[in-house]
Structure 1
Amino acid sequence: MGKLRTLTRRTFLIGSAAIAGGVAFGAYMVMRPIRNPLLDGLAEGEAAITPYIKITPQGITLITPRADMGQGAYSIQALLIAEELDIDPATATITPGTPGPAYYNAAVLAEGTPFPAYDTSTLAETVRDFMSVPAKLFEVQLTGGSSTVPDSYTKLRTAGAVARETLKEAAARRHGLQRADLNTEDGHVILPDGTRLPYTELAGDAAKLEPVTDLELRPAGRWKRLGQPQKRLDMVAKCTGTETYGIDLKVDGMVHATVRANPGIGGGIERLDSAAAEATEGVMMVLPITSAVAVIARNTWSAFQGANALDITWGPAPFPADSGRMFEVLEEALGNEDAFDHCQRDVGDVDAALQGGTGLTATYRVPYLAHAPMEPMNALVTVTETDCDIWTGTQIPLFIRNRAAEMTGLPADRIHIHVQKMGGSFGHRLEMTHVEQALEIAIALRGTPVKLVWSREEDMTHDYPRPAAVARGRGRVQDGKVESFDLAVAQSGMTSGWFTRLAGMGIPGPDATITTGSWDQPYDIPNYRVTGYRAPDMVPVSSWRSVGASSNGFFHDCLLDELIHEAGADPLAERIRLCMDDTSRKVLEAVGELAQWTGPHVGYRHGRGVGFCMSFGVPCAQIVEVTQTPDGIRLDRVFVAVDVGQVLDPVNLEAQVTGGVLFGLGHAMNCELTYADHAPEQSNFDSFTGLRLYQVPEIKVKALSNGPRIRGIGEPAVPPAAPALANAIFAATGQRIRELPLNRHVDFV
């Protein structure tokens, strides 16, 4: 930690964890400290020892820059700081702060390295650590990829420890003592004689000192809060309906707006008749904007009614008109050399191995899926001659800042992003179309605050959905074992289009999301190949909760289950035998113990299915138990085992795992976006139906802590749910389903 001692009090090296871990770089741009933004406007008697903690005589503020979309991100970030700062986080003010370079995400790009998560070789770990470099250089302040905890675990604890020790040093100097002789407790420095000095009283003295960085973080055995059940800081507000989201904001003098855009994203407007809309009560004006028409009114309801009255003829979209043709495009790409994208897993001689033994060929497919968060997209924007203020729930604040600077012509430092709490996202708020629309309206109405809210129908039909995909699997078994596994996946690219929308340029090279969740599974199959084919771009697509693993988990695990059945082996025992990663093997063993596994058949028309997927470095195994009733399939119980390396809050971990399971099951059972005449046919929750309350099964969760790295849990429980359910249906009924949603083939009760 010696390098940290060279810092001045006005800077703090966010990337210190990488240096401490042995990844050091000589380039100035990499090594340079990032200025602490909390020092701007700091008053006498106030201290901002790191970018994450501000202490004033009135209280303590903790900066939690990773966005909270309902997953408890603010609470866990505050808890990480509070553990080392030695305060009760409930006594502090929690805020995401002002977005800026200091809050880049050092962990989010690590998932994109060409190494499976179970590869812990020196090379793999070095490359993963190196990915913090481009994240820092390009100021990637982004929430996603289950990276909040991996990014924050050391960073925020270090921030809390630096502040704690600096406050102790301030107290020691004031009283002529040695820092080593002082202790802390609940926001106080404790002197040897028992005197308690509040941090708020020491802030002024601490602000004059160099940050104390010669320290050690507390080991898990000395944690006071981490690792123990916690009450989320937002729980009371959410349970009482008093939480405030972006959609709830009000400012004096604001107008309300909504939009109608071409349901075939990318298509234009051929004809517009706005007379009926302009005559609607409460409507103030109709404003054509880029690829859409805005209706500005005195309230949101009037804006919605005016938008419904618009008479618009839309131009054609640049993709096939219906779902049937879209799947034809995907199938044409599958195995087409011209569409070949990458092959990251090719072990043994698959082609030769497929010539002998008992063989299997199967085709799988999954549909487009909307994100469909409960809170539709919204933004409140004010543009003046000198400043631009944007209030919105977002996972990409600096991308929005940069786009706003382009659109308004204002300097980036005059763009003020106020990140709001969000009523869900699932990846939807990795986009900024709604903010661009609000900006365009606000520029036209310069000086007037504009609150834009999408209707539910606009949100559903103008989403950038999870890609549809098809896969073809082949394999052979021999002597009761799986010997050959060949999976080819085709879908449109996800990453390049998303980055083009954000930064104006695509990402060259293969799109790893096409096979993520399939090529990187920890199985030692003698002949093993996973190939990705990139289909032509069709409906513009984006990240959906668990990204590529959301579909590839279904493809990979269903094919493996079919091969295990062909071999006559036990579904759980054969997965355990094939598993070459100790952490994953223990997860599979744990879920078997939790479920008291005795095999897939547990009674007449009563079956169990196993699902496993490693995503975002987290091995997650699930066993789903179902019963075939006269009215359809009933979900009975789900058993889940995961390993995140270190459990920081067992209560929230269980909530995230349970939520992920229900999210995965509901979408696997019922949800799809189908297209006709270029437009989605599902526009609200009546036609895009998740799991109903009466269908929710009993869920038991077991968390392990054997993994070598700390991991996040917001997404990894989603991918195994669909294959575990499909495999359970096969065990109960003998019906093998290779297409989602499952309700195309069976009824659920």
Structure 2
Amino acid sequence: MGKVGKIARRSFLIGSAAVLGGVAFGVYRVKTPYGNPLEDGLSEGAATFNPWVVIDGDKITLIGPHGDKGQGVAHSQSLLIAEEMDLELGQFETSFGKPDKAYWNTAMAEEGVPFMATDTGMVAESMRGVMGGVMKLIGLQGTGGSTSMPDSFDKLRRAGAIARETLKAAAAEETGINTTALRTEAGHVILPDGRRLSYQSLAKAAAGIDPVTKVTLRRPDQWRLIGKPTQRLDIVAKSTGTQIYGIDVEIPGAVKAAVRTNPRQGGGLNGFDATQARRMRGVKDVVEVTGGIAVIADNTWRAIKAAEAVECDWGKAPYPSEQDGHWAAIEASFTEDKLDKIWRNEGDADAALRSGAEVEAEYRVPYVAHAPLEPLNATVLVEEDGVTVWTGHQFPRLLQQLVGAITGHDAEQVNFINHYMGGSFGHRLEFEHVKQAAEIASKMRGTPVKLTYSREEDFAHDFPRHPGMARARGAVRDGKVEALDLQVAMPSVITSQMGRAGLPVPGPDSQIAAGAWNNPYGLPHFRMRAYRVEELAPVSSWRSVGASAGGFFFDCALDELIHAAGADPMEERIRLMQHEVSRKVLEAVAEMSDWGSPLGAGKGRGVAFVESFGVPTAEVIEVSATDAGIRIDKVWVAAEVGTVIDPVNFENLVQGGVVFGLGHAINCEITYADGMAEQRNYDSFEGMRLYQCPEIEVRGLENGDAVRGIGEPPVPPAAPALANAIFAATGQRIRELPLYHHINFV
């Protein structure tokens, strides 16, 4: 049996095991709700109705369990609860809560099944249900994959409605007035005579009755907050420098630590000499940690400088030392034994191409770093009866398990206090810095240890986006795109990332094919094959993960075919699009950009469409070719998310995603020399400069049935739209990122 057959059988067996062991056999467990973690330690007179709302005599606290890394999810989660609970902004506090199975992510099952988001057939929906059950059984609490809003939209509105109706029931019990005569407004229950009972005054009575769970959610035409422009709850704190991030945590009596580990990641430490470092001012100790050393000092700067002074004998890299070796390994992986999966095989690509391939092209995308503004950090206190961790992280319950394994505690004994994150882009899905802090603190029990990475250490030990290559062959006929055979080779990001977290990864890696296989076009002949490259440098999820590469590969190849056919890039995409909702996205961006209108000399427009995380997104970029280089004049973006929760935050996220995507497409790459990343700070890893940033016009569409997230989907179309625009303006096809290797930008 061929490898494709083996994969299909393995996927079937895994799916069957999940059904038998996790859902069908354990259906009672799947349907049974978890308990309310807010009941533990609840003060007298306080009331909680579900895991997301708690009220006492002083305040109302809304729990948003998804981590906020700048995407505004703490605000958006609270909007959903406040909408149904009849609260106004400013009437409540927000909290990330404590890690708990009750906060399992319902939406992460979407990316865990090998079906296109546009496939709503019985088999696809059944498998999503199976995976959803598995996610619940393991209690997977996580922030990522643009799932925060899909996960929260129904459950948090329901949480607010339950709180509202229970408070009305408490008021009815106190006043003797039937609940049908009561209404709520701005944090109060309103009696028929106009008297107002605050929610806080009703908390004690509400605590004595069972929550009212039979509730009706409000219709969109009744919404006060959802879909309306609001000021994010964190704006004032962030504007005044008072927002507390993980790096700002200061625990009395804490020592400060810095680490230095092998820049040849995974190479180990053969030995070290800390004589000079131990003599430096403020240094308390130098200890060994996994893969390197840690310096403990009286402040962070002294710890960092002393760590730099330690002489280390590093082991060799377990991957090619030079960048050329990485590319050679990828290039050599287009072989049958490395085939991970055939993701699409429609029509007969071989027969269509035999008449003569019109386009043959090879594309490349490099490693790129996450590089958020806040360096990695964690504060850990290890005591005999428990551990406390202060940092910002996207997977709290996994963090508890990994820390507990290091310190010798059960996961339930690890108290994790989540904080706002100064960016992530996937960086804070990783655990190495928290594990290192736990290692150090475990040697110093009873003393809090605050570990902070230097910027250089952060870059050197980032797990970047996986690099990849694509080979495309395509044919056209009668002025139309006829066939495309697309092969993509990449290391497996899921195997690398999940391996570090100690999690098994069965089956093919969908992120090798993401952004390429799942496009909803109806090409007559389309084959998409993914090849798994043996592990090179360790890699991780990067904002939009595989779609950031796959979108570039597929859309640029499609654009080349359209031009070979002599067709209009927008009109041919719309003609080929077989998904109505996605077609409307293309039509919207065409209308926004006035596609087809005359352009001046040296100008060009490029369009790209990529579906990632269930969000069809199209971008048009207009550029000018000047004597000094390419200037990006304007960007138009249309994206379909089902429901726009907050139009202001939506626009900001889309604009930020475009800037992020363009900056990396133009300037950014990580390369390896002597086994080490050569780029160690922003001077060698530049994002988009302010003077380069174009005007960005955004439109959020609401034609789809499902609510989707928007944090990642604006990123993948940026690079191909820009490359296609450059071709339109100059006639130059650029098939590798970053683009600056081939053209200047002004």
Structure 2 length as normaliser, TM-score? Answer: 0.96
Matched ranges for 1:562-581 at <5 A: 562-581=560-579
Aligned position for 2:263: 263
1:401 maps onto 2:387 in alignment: no
What is the letter of the counterpart of residue 60 of structure 1? I
What is the letter of the counterpart of residue 591 of structure 2? E
Aligned position for 2:75: 75
Aligned position for 1:648: 645
Aligned position for 1:737: 734
Per-residue deviation, residues 357-391 of structure 1 (Å, max 9, x unmatched) = 55211000000010000000000000011110000
Give the C-alpha shift of residue 137 in structure 1.
Answer: 0.8
Aligned position for 2:616: 619
Aligned position for 2:224: 224
Matched ranges for 1:528-677 at <5 A: 528-598=526-596, 602-677=599-674
Tell me, what secondary structure is at the counterpart of 1:645? coil
Counterpart CA distance in 2 for 1:733 and 1:440 is: 55
Structure 2: runs of 5+ lacking an equivalent = 1-22
Aligned position for 1:714: 711
1:104 maps onto 2:101 in alignment: no
Give the C-alpha shift of residue 24 in structure 1.
Answer: 9.4
Counterpart CA distance in 2 for 1:85 and 1:313 is: 60
What is the letter of the counterpart of residue 355 of structure 2? G
Per-residue deviation, residues 693-733 of structure 1 (Å, max 9, x unmatched) = 01000111111100120000000000000000000000111
Counterpart CA distance in 1 for 2:211 and 2:615 is: 35
Tell me, what secondary structure is at the counterpart of 1:33? coil
Counterpart CA distance in 1 for 2:131 and 2:45 is: 38
Matched ranges for 1:187-202 at <5 A: 187-202=187-202
Matched ranges for 1:313-462 at <5 A: 313-334=313-334, 336-356=335-355, 359-462=358-461
What is the letter of the counterpart of residue 585 of structure 1? R
8 Å CA contact 2:91, 2:187 repeated in 1: no
Matched ranges for 1:34-53 at <5 A: 34-53=34-53
Give the C-alpha shift of residue 264 in structure 1.
Answer: 1.1
Per-residue deviation, residues 665-708 of structure 1 (Å, max 9, x unmatched) = 00000000000000000000000000000100011111110012
What is the letter of the counterpart of residue 658 of structure 2? V
1:486 maps onto 2:485 in alignment: yes
What is the letter of the counterpart of residue 747 of structure 1? N
Count of paired positions: 724
Tell me, what secondary structure is at the counterpart of 1:333? coil
Counterpart CA distance in 2 for 1:26 and 1:150 is: 25
Counterpart CA distance in 2 for 1:43 and 1:424 is: 35
8 Å CA contact 1:497, 1:506 repeated in 2: no
Give the C-alpha shift of residue 122 in structure 1.
Answer: 3.3
More off after superposition, 675-684 vs 39-48: 39-48
What is the letter of the counterpart of residue 668 of structure 1? A
Give the C-alpha shift of residue 90 in structure 1.
Answer: 2.3
Tell me, what secondary structure is at the counterpart of 1:285? strand
Per-residue deviation, residues 388-432 of structure 1 (Å, max 9, x unmatched) = 000011001111100111111112222100101100000000001
What is the letter of the counterpart of residue 83 of structure 1? E
Per-residue deviation, residues 607-627 of structure 1 (Å, max 9, x unmatched) = 010011011111110000111
Per-residue deviation, residues 500-527 of structure 1 (Å, max 9, x unmatched) = 211x243121111100111000100010
Tell me, what secondary structure is at the counterpart of 2:400? helix
RMSD: 1.2
Counterpart CA distance in 2 for 1:256 and 1:430 is: 23
Counterpart CA distance in 2 for 1:590 and 1:24 is: 43
Per-residue deviation, residues 168-217 of structure 1 (Å, max 9, x unmatched) = 01111221222122100001001111111101111111111111111110
8 Å CA contact 2:369, 2:464 repeated in 1: yes
Tell me, what secondary structure is at the counterpart of 2:106? coil
Counterpart CA distance in 2 for 1:190 and 1:520 is: 51
What is the letter of the counterpart of residue 351 of structure 1? D
Counterpart CA distance in 2 for 1:570 and 1:106 is: 41
What is the letter of the counterpart of residue 478 of structure 2? D
Give the C-alpha shift of residue 123 in structure 1.
Answer: 3.0
Give the C-alpha shift of residue 126 in structure 1.
Answer: 3.3
8 Å CA contact 2:401, 2:410 repeated in 1: no
Counterpart CA distance in 1 for 2:534 and 2:91 is: 53
Tell me, what secondary structure is at the counterpart of 1:530? strand
Aligned position for 1:15: none
Give the C-alpha shift of residue 27 in structure 1.
Answer: 1.9
8 Å CA contact 1:357, 1:478 repeated in 2: no
Counterpart CA distance in 2 for 1:695 and 1:527 is: 39
Structure 1: runs of 5+ lacking an equivalent = 1-22
Give the C-alpha shift of residue 127 in structure 1.
Answer: 2.6
What is the letter of the counterpart of residue 639 of structure 2? V
8 Å CA contact 1:384, 1:447 repeated in 2: yes
1:524 maps onto 2:522 in alignment: yes
Return the match for 2:691 from 683, 690, 694: 694
Tell me, what secondary structure is at the counterpart of 1:603? coil
Counterpart CA distance in 1 for 2:711 and 2:503 is: 29
What is the letter of the counterpart of residue 219 of structure 1? R
What is the letter of the counterpart of residue 338 of structure 1? D
Tell me, what secondary structure is at the counterpart of 2:417? strand
What is the letter of the counterpart of residue 40 of structure 2? D
Give the C-alpha shift of residue 29 in structure 1.
Answer: 1.9
Tell me, what secondary structure is at the counterpart of 2:358? strand
Tell me, what secondary structure is at the counterpart of 1:607? strand
8 Å CA contact 2:357, 2:473 repeated in 1: no
Per-residue deviation, residues 403-462 of structure 1 (Å, max 9, x unmatched) = 111111112222100101100000000001000000000011111110000000111110
8 Å CA contact 1:583, 1:707 repeated in 2: yes
Counterpart CA distance in 2 for 1:674 and 1:747 is: 20
Per-residue deviation, residues 40-69 of structure 1 (Å, max 9, x unmatched) = 122221101111000001010000100000
Counterpart CA distance in 2 for 1:36 and 1:440 is: 32
What is the letter of the counterpart of residue 212 of structure 2? V
Give the C-alpha shift of residue 118 in structure 1.
Answer: 1.3
Aligned position for 1:274: 274
What is the letter of the counterpart of residue 510 of structure 2? A
More off after superposition, 567-576 vs 504-513: 504-513
1:476 maps onto 2:448 in alignment: no
Per-residue deviation, residues 332-369 of structure 1 (Å, max 9, x unmatched) = 002x0110001121100111110125521100000001
Matched ranges for 1:123-202 at <5 A: 123-202=123-202
Aligned position for 2:302: 302
Give the C-alpha shift of residue 498 in structure 1.
Answer: 1.2
8 Å CA contact 1:107, 1:131 repeated in 2: no
What is the letter of the counterpart of residue 745 of structure 2? F
Aligned position for 1:242: 242
More off after superposition, 659-668 vs 356-365: 356-365
More off after superposition, 404-413 vs 196-205: 404-413
Structure 1 length as normaliser, TM-score? Answer: 0.95
Counterpart CA distance in 2 for 1:602 and 1:121 is: 44
8 Å CA contact 1:254, 1:451 repeated in 2: yes
Per-residue deviation, residues 290-328 of structure 1 (Å, max 9, x unmatched) = 111001110011011101111112100110001111001
What is the letter of the counterpart of residue 713 of structure 1? I
Over 3 Å counting, the alpha-carbon distance change for 1:728 and 1:272 in structure 2 is same
Counterpart CA distance in 1 for 2:207 and 2:252 is: 37
Counterpart CA distance in 1 for 2:736 and 2:410 is: 50
Aligned position for 1:213: 213
8 Å CA contact 1:25, 1:31 repeated in 2: no
Counterpart CA distance in 2 for 1:145 and 1:55 is: 32
1:725 maps onto 2:722 in alignment: yes
Aligned position for 1:4: none
What is the letter of the counterpart of residue 709 of structure 2? G
More off after superposition, 293-302 vs 601-610: 601-610
What is the letter of the counterpart of residue 291 of structure 1? G
What is the letter of the counterpart of residue 410 of structure 1? H
8 Å CA contact 1:637, 1:698 repeated in 2: yes
8 Å CA contact 2:79, 2:225 repeated in 1: yes
Tell me, what secondary structure is at the counterpart of 1:90? coil
